[in-house]
Amino acid sequence: MANDSDSMTIVTTIISLAHSLNLKVVAEGVDAEEQRKFLRLLKCDEMQGYLFSRPVPKNDLLALLQARSTPER
């Protein structure tokens, strides 16, 4: 995305179109910090992908979410 101007144009257009329709945008497949930064600058609402977590078995998901929501001391 970051190295291809055509891809960046498509991503920017999709985010803009979705927001003009009052939709939230979820980017899938975010696996690099550079992608996250660009998507944040483009006002992408949510992101998911390997940058945040590898796939997790259903039985382990609750423990993962609880660990991430616990405030650090």
Count CB neighbours of 35 within 10 A: 19
- What is the sign, positive or negative, of the torsion defined by CA atoms of 31, 2, 9, 41? positive
Identify which has the larger pLDDT, 71 or 18: 18
Q: Which of 3, 4, 53, 59 has the alpha carbon at shortest distance from 28?
A: 53
pLDDT in tens, 6-64: 999 999 999 999 999 999 999 999 999 999 999 999 999 999 999 998 888 988 888 88
Q: Which burial class, exposed, middle or buried, applies to 42 when counting CB atoms under 10 A from its CB (0-12, 13-18, 19+)?
A: middle
pTM of the predicted protein model: 0.76
Q: Which burial class, exposed, middle or buried, applies to 14 when counting CB atoms under 10 A from its CB (0-12, 13-18, 19+)?
A: middle
